[in-house]
Amino acid sequence: MSSGLEHGYRPGEIQKILNDAQSILETDFTEVRALSSNLEVIGTAYRNPEPQDKTAARISVVRLGCQEVPLTPPDQFTLSTEELLSNICSASENVDLMLVSFMDPETFGQGRSIVEEIPGRVECPVINLRDDIYAPQAALSNLLGIQSRLGPLAGKRIAISWGFGSVFPLPTVPHSMIAAASQLGAKIRVVAPKDFGLLRRVIREAEESAPDDVSIEETDQFEGAFDDVDVIYALNWCRLSDFQHPERNTEYASEYRDWFFTTDNTPENGLFLTQAPAQTELLASQKLLSSERNMTQDWLKRRVVTLAASMAYLAPSLTNPPMRHLI
């Protein structure tokens, strides 16, 4: 990737997309439709996609006045990785832009490997919605919400925290939020029990690509971890070491039932985000989730405009090389 970052987004690109998405929120889709007028057919290539990603993608495509065309065969057809990539490569000649999402339920990291392979094989720009390590679009939509409420992210203090719950998704959104927010100058604090650590490589690469004055702090202590932060993103992500044994998550998580967010243990003026639907009275209290500090309920609106802005950003590279991808 031309950025040299595995996350695949340059800082200037992140800020441009957030600003354009903010403009859509404040006006409508008229201008972004004009900017993406050369996009007519949007191909989608998915394997085990998140339903929320598919929903946001469908709405974004319609909002831009485009047609969505599935490029991958139904799940009942089992293809090797090479067969899958060849199929996508051939199909890409018939679309203007491709949205991809690959989650491999058996081998952690395989979905990311497929996503990284796609740009070198296709004839159109590519946007990655999610793989088993990153979820760039979901993360950018969260950062859009923060920017809308607090202004530029530079200098803002963002806590990425594990919390008690019963769902245990992969920490794809936390990984991408750390990578993107740190590039924009936000100060990151990762709060997680030792049993639920994030991928070390993600944190290391984020530290390497962040500005010199940006810190990524880590703590395994819940109490007092949020006293000085502006934003909390909370999620009860799974244990990466038990990727193939998800049933073990419940046992380990039971030791951390007190990792529960309320209006008392979070800053009075701090913002709160989690994955929708919020796990009321498991991850966070009803009082916190029903307050104006909680931005989770607007997730779909932000996801739609963020993806629309991303597609419009890539539209010129379809006809003006070099072709750019956001993976």
Tens of pLDDT along 248-266?
Answer: 999 999 999 999 999 999 9
Return the closest-CA partner of residue 22 out of 140, 159, 174, 172: 140
| pLDDT of res. 1 | 30
**Do 312 and 177 share a structural domain?**
no
Rg (CA), the chain: 19
What's the CA dihedral at 176, 297, 295, 60 to 10 degrees? Answer: 50
If one counts the domains in the chain, the total is 2
Residue 238 lies in a domain: yes
Range(s) of the domain holding residue 189: 136-297
| pLDDT of res. 321 | 84
| Tokens linked to 117 | 């392979």
**Do 285 and 169 share a structural domain?**
yes
**Do 237 and 167 share a structural domain?**
yes
Return the closest-CA partner of residue 173 out of 222, 236, 231: 236
**Do 150 and 260 share a structural domain?**
yes
**Do 234 and 176 share a structural domain?**
yes
**Do 284 and 171 share a structural domain?**
yes
| pLDDT of res. 44 | 97
**Do 81 and 164 share a structural domain?**
no
**Do 23 and 103 share a structural domain?**
yes
Residues near 210 by beta carbon (within 8 Å), at least 6 away in sequence: 182, 183, 185, 216
Q: Compute the distance between CA of residue 225 and CA of residue 220 in angstroms, rounded to an integer.
A: 9
Residue 126 lies in a domain: yes
Residue 46 lies in a domain: yes
CATH number of the domain bearing residue 260: 3.40.50.1370
Q: Compute the distance between CA of residue 299 and CA of residue 315 in angstroms, rounded to an integer.
A: 24
Residue 167 lies in a domain: yes
pTM, two decimals, is 0.95
Q: Compute the distance between CA of residue 65 and CA of residue 39 in angstroms, rounded to an integer.
A: 9
pLDDT digit of tens for each residue in the chain (327 aa)?
A: 333 333 478 889 999 999 999 999 999 999 999 999 999 999 999 999 999 999 999 999 999 999 999 998 776 467 888 999 999 999 999 999 999 999 988 899 999 999 999 999 998 999 999 999 999 999 999 999 999 999 999 999 999 999 999 999 999 999 999 999 999 999 999 999 999 999 999 999 999 999 999 989 999 999 999 999 999 999 999 999 999 999 999 999 999 999 999 999 999 999 999 999 999 999 999 999 999 999 999 999 999 999 999 999 999 988 888 889 999
**Do 90 and 219 share a structural domain?**
no
**Do 106 and 17 share a structural domain?**
yes
Residue 200 lies in a domain: yes
**Do 127 and 149 share a structural domain?**
no
Q: What is the pLDDT of residues 230-251, one digit of tens each?
A: 999 999 999 999 999 999 999 9
Is the alpha carbon torsion for 61, 66, 67, 70 positive or negative?
negative
At 6, the amino acid letter reads E
| pLDDT of res. 75 | 63
Q: Are 246 and 238 in contact (CB under 8 A)?
A: yes
Write a three-state SS string for 54-69: HHHHHHHHHHCCCEEE
Q: Are 8 and 327 in contact (CB under 8 A)?
A: yes
Please classify residue 71 by burial: count the beta carbons closer than 10 Å to its beta carbon, then call 0-12 exposed, 13-18 middle and 19+ buried.
buried
Residue 6 lies in a domain: no
